[in-house]
Amino acid sequence: MENEDKNYIEERSKTLAFLLRHDKTYAFLEHGYRDVNDLVANHGFTKEELRELVATDDKGRFEFFNEQQLLVRARYGHSVKVDVELPEAVPPAVLYHGTAKRFVESIQQQGILKMSRLYVHLSATVEEAIKVGKRHGEPTVLEIDARRMSEDGIRFLVSRNGVWMTEFVDAKYIRK
Ligand code: HQG
């Protein structure tokens, strides 16, 4: 694919992610869905483009309600208060949090906070966590003792595409 095409698709994907995760002006339907007709009428998407973006997204960020493709939602990452029906699950023994080096000192003091999102996001692999961290600057990866958190009764949710979420990670569960 030409670089220009790739950049354009990334740009559209980011716009869609914003509209499905953070748009406080929209009254989301039950379980975090947004009407495809709204995206078409008010945000310049075509149905075909939405089909492509949902089907080809590198992280499986989006999903339609069903084959009719009338409703679409993001699978994780929201700041708007919606319930996208994330199932609770027992995490692997270790999870990773990718962040920027400059945040580490503060994280060691306060733990990992969800900041503007509904949950703290954790990755299943170091590779994935590095990518997440790079979004904020020079990346670093924190190792989370998810087994101990789980044994201590802390709940984890997991999205269909394998992103793990929890309310808060106390500093005592973080191994650098
Ligand atoms: C940091 C993307 C200082 C935290 C990713 C992070 C993910 C603290 C930033 C998903 C802190 C929040 C979420 C503390 C947390 N002191 N800094 N006490 N506690 N932070 O973007 O995890 O690609 O809201 O480390 O891949 O980076 O868009 O969270 O650096 O899965 O699909 O505060 O979003 O998904 O940043 O990313 P974010 P995140 P997509």
DSSP string, 56-94: H-TT--EEESSTT--EEEESS---S-----PPB-PPPSE
The whole-angstrom separation of Cα 166 and Cα 176 is 19
pLDDT in tens, 5-16: 889 999 999 999
Residue 176, pLDDT above cutoff 80: no
Which atom of ligand 1 lies at the shortest distance from residue 117's CA?
24
* 112 alpha carbon – ligand 1 mean position (Å): 9
Residue 164, pLDDT above cutoff 90: yes
Per-residue model confidence (pLDDT) at position 118: 98
Pick from 96, 20, 90: nearest CA to 61: 20
Which atom of ligand 1 lies at the shortest distance from residue 110's CA?
18
Per-residue model confidence (pLDDT) at position 144: 98
Q: Is 113 in the pocket of ligand 1 (CB under 6 A)?
A: yes
* 48 alpha carbon – ligand 1 mean position (Å): 31
Buried b (16+ CB within 10 A) or exposed e, 3-33: eeeeeebeebbeebbebbbeeeebebeeebb
The protein residue with its alpha carbon nearest to ligand 1, atom 12, reads 115
Q: What is the mean pLDDT of residues 109-138?
A: 98
* 67 alpha carbon – ligand 1 mean position (Å): 32
pLDDT in tens, 144-158: 999 999 999 999 999
Per-residue model confidence (pLDDT) at position 3: 83
The residue to mutate among 54, 121, 169, having the most atoms of ligand 1 within 8 angstroms of its beta carbon, is: 121
Per-residue model confidence (pLDDT) at position 101: 98
Q: What is the mean pLDDT of residues 28-32?
A: 98
Query: Looking up tokens 């994907």, which residue turns up?
Result: 13
* 121 alpha carbon – ligand 1 mean position (Å): 7
Per-residue model confidence (pLDDT) at position 4: 83
Q: What is the mean pLDDT of residues 108-137?
A: 98
Confidence of residue 66 (pLDDT cuts 50, 70, 90): very high
Q: What is the mean pLDDT of residues 50-73?
A: 96
Crossing angle of the two packed helices 47-56 and 36-43, in degrees rounded to 10: 120
pTM of the model: 0.94
Pick from 109, 122, 126, 129: nearest CA to 150: 122
Q: Is 126 in the pocket of ligand 1 (CB under 6 A)?
A: no
